[in-house]
Amino acid sequence: MKFLFSKEKKSKELTNLTRSALGFVLGLIIMIGVTNVFTVNDFDYENIKNGVEAILSGINPWAAESNSFEFFNPPYSVLFLWPIVFVNPKIILVFGGALIFAVLFFQKSWVAFSWFGTNLFLWIVAAGHIDMYIMGAGILLLFISDEIDEDKLTLLLRVLGYGLLMIKPQGGLFIVVLYVLLRKDWRGVLVSFLIYGIFFINYYPDWFRVLVTNPPIGQDYMHLSILGKYGWITTIIIAFGVSFSRPWEYWQLGAALSGILSPYGMPGIPVLLVLTGVDNKKAIPIVIIFSWCLAILTWITPPENVDYYKFIGPFMEIYHLVMLGLAFVLAIYPKRDLVTDHKNRIDLRNSVLNIFSSNSKSA
């Protein structure tokens, strides 16, 4: 039973992996109950399922003659999304929610967990998205890869993590880039490029064309990122300010940049990951009460014959953008350095100061 507890401390403290496993099991139990109580939307699920089935059948879902498909994930995503053909949306949501539980338990991110457990996952369940599955699995694989000393297994876990996170590049791109730069994992990038790029190269031209000329319906109506709402100048200023405001873990800064820069980000997951940078448990009631008050704005049923996205879009913009703002305030406000794991640390402010300090000494 020694593997259940930390070797570094004599006290019976659970290891990161064991705590994560417990969170996963708890997540399974809770998400099974949630998906059997609340309505699960299967619109996005069906779109993705149809696209995956097309690729498995040898059909290019992005070809000009296949324009009826509402499938926008990259071609290689079939490697990870094929189970969706055999299971219903509830199973994907249960498994995805359990993975998010595992991520939050791994990092002991109880402030972030308070928001996820009382509000966020209801949105994701109601929408029926695959976000929790791909983002939770991808981030967890990167965490686990850092806990393992075996070189080949570490490479495998990283490549799998990159692939999962890039299924939604608007949410996972910055996390992957920052992780690669921190670890200098050029080998993992090369292997990922070979597996996810070359083997599906025939699909990519049509996929890019569809993304540019025929984006998702939701992207046209709902601008849930700062870029989508306020434009490039404001976005760049905020991105620089947030990046230099404090030391960040790579997944926190990656999520922050996603919420700021993505034209149509996954606001739920970025906000959740930014909140992992808040350690002070006094923030828990603030997050819960504030979020529920914002949620009341969205408890409105659109009138008949009114486009759902156009009607609910402004209310969802308010909820997600203001919630993202609260996450930034709570994460940045503390004057003390909350980051203790230096191998995951991105401290742009001190890096710039050190450069100027070195130059002045040389002069």
243: its two tokens: 């990046």
Domain extent listing, the chain? 12-354
> Which of 128, 120, 162 lies closest to 145 in space, CA to CA?
162
Cα–Cα distance, 258 to 270 (Å, whole number): 7
Mean pLDDT of the chain: 83
Taking only the tens place, the pLDDT of each residue in 215-252 is: 666 555 556 678 877 888 999 999 999 999 989 999 99
Q: What sign for the dihedral angle of Cα 131, 132, 135, 138?
A: negative
Cα–Cα distance, 57 to 127 (Å, whole number): 27
Taking only the tens place, the pLDDT of each residue in 59-92 is: 999 987 766 778 889 999 999 999 998 988 888 8
Taking only the tens place, the pLDDT of each residue in 96-130 is: 989 999 999 999 999 999 988 887 666 666 666 78
What value does the mean pLDDT take over residues 274-289? Answer: 92
Q: What is the pTM of this model?
A: 0.88
Whole-angstrom CA distances from 261 to 56, 77, 144, 303, 346 are 33, 23, 28, 32, 18
Taking only the tens place, the pLDDT of each residue in 159-175 is: 999 999 999 888 899 99
Instruction: Write down how long the chain is.
Output: 363
23-27, long-range: CB < 8 A, 24+ apart: 23/98, 23/101, 23/102, 23/103, 23/104, 23/105, 23/106, 24/98, 24/99, 24/101, 24/102, 24/105, 25/98, 26/98, 26/101, 26/105, 27/97, 27/98, 27/99, 27/100, 27/101, 27/102
Cα–Cα distance, 260 to 227 (Å, whole number): 6
> Which of 86, 87, 61 lies closest to 74 in space, CA to CA?
61
